[in-house]
Structure 1
Amino acid sequence: MNGFEKRASLIKEKIKKTTLDMLRTSDPKRIRIADIAKRADVSQVTIYNYFGSKEALLQDVFKSFVDGAVRDFENYMAEKRTLKERIEYILFREKEAYRDFPPRLIKEMLIEDHELTRYIEELYKEKTIPLTVQMIQEGKDSGEISQDVSIESVLAMIRLYLSQYETILEMAEQSGDMDRFIKGMVHLFFYGVCGKS
């Protein structure tokens, strides 16, 4: 990468980081290119030259965020971890993701952008599901998951948790001790109400 390409890459990343920071506090519809440019200390023309439109910029920011989360998950899965540690990682990572992209914002972005929806669905099918199935199979092989429980059942349980994650996180925030609340949810996931500690 030559000096020009390096500078261009740094400017693009600065614009994307600024946009992500703004998405944490603002509705995407209210964010204007002029606001992003001002906060990133670049011209509006620079943003249009690199991204083409506000919609393309938002899409790029969200894709980068999701790609990074999947990469982190792949790296974490490559390390020797127990199933419980991996499930905790998924739930705690969701907590962090919730801060950057609340479920309301994700739904809004996916409803309005069919290309982004397709991208997320492909990523889910090609990367997330195979990694999760691998995790479950390794849990079965190590005896952490009962042989009586099917992979489909564990996937269904994970989906149930994640589909209600917005509600779970709201309850966790209201509890006053978010980490303790989520640890309790992990315990319930593995052992139920009366299971072993």
Structure 2
Amino acid sequence: MDGYQLRTEKKKEKIRNVAIELFLSFGIEKVSITEIAKKASVSPVTIYNHFGTKDELVRKVITSFIQKEWEDRLDITKRGDLSFHEKIEKMVFETESITGKTNPEFLNSMINGDPELEKMIGEIYHQFLPSIVDFFEEGKKQGYMDPDISTETIMIYLNLLKNAMSGFHFYNDPEKNSKLAKDLTNFFFYGLLNKAPNRK
């Protein structure tokens, strides 16, 4: 990559970072290209040249955000200093924390986007699906999950949850969203158990 390409990539990264910061705080509809350009110290024309329309920028920003969130969660699953149960607890806590601080309009855009965005998010999900299944398989080996549950069943369960999210909506109450995220993440991992199993 030559100097020009490197400068271009850095500029695009700055635009994405500024856009995600503003979208997370204020939602997508209330943030204009002009505002993003001003904070990123570029012209609106530069944003249009690199990303096209605002809708295309939104798709890029949301998919980059989701990609990073998946990567962060998978990094947790690879940590050798945490037990299986501790890894789940950390993922629950981080999901709750992010959701409680994020504008609900942005959250709803992630799970109820346009068809093209939904396709892009689906591709990310399938990219990380094998690693998720591996994580659950490790949980079975460690005795945290029923060893008789097949990999096929785990995949069906994950797909059912993914499809259910398409009709979900977050609220205009950060505390309510935070609790909802925690409940959903707990349900994702523990189902209808009264509490998480306390195993070592």
| TM-score when normalising by structure 1 | 0.72
Q: Paired residue for 1:170?
A: 175
Task: Give the partner amino acid of 2:84.
Answer: L
Residue 87 of structure 1 aligns with which residue?
88
Aligned to 2:3: 3
1:57 maps to which residue? 57
Name the counterpart of 2:46.
46
Task: Give the % identical residues.
Answer: 26
Matches within 5 A, 1:48-197: 48-80=48-80, 81-99=82-100, 101-102=102-103, 104-127=105-128, 129-147=129-147, 152=153, 156=157, 159=161, 170-171=175-176, 189=190, 192-193=194-195
Report which of the two has the higher share of helix: 1
Matched residue, 1:23: 23
Q: Distance in 1 between matches of 2:5 and 2:78?
A: 32
Contact 1:18/1:40 (<8 A) preserved: yes
Q: Are the counterparts in 2 of residues 15 and 40 from structure 1 also a CA contact under 8 Å?
A: yes
State the number of aligned residues. Answer: 186
Equivalent in the alignment of 1:35: 35
Root-mean-square deviation (CA), in Å? Answer: 3.8
Q: What is residue 178 of structure 1 aligned with on the other side?
A: none
More divergent stretch after superposition (45-54 vs 1-10)? 1-10
**Structure 1: how far apart are the matches of 2:197 and 2:19?**
45
Alpha-carbon distance, 1:104 to partner? 4.3
> 2:104, 2:170 within 8 Å by CA — same for their partners in 1?
yes
Matched to 1:78, the amino acid is: K
- Gaps (5+ residues) in structure 1? 175-180
Q: Measure how far apart 1:61 and its partner are.
A: 0.9
Please tell me the residue identity of whatever aligns with 1:43: S
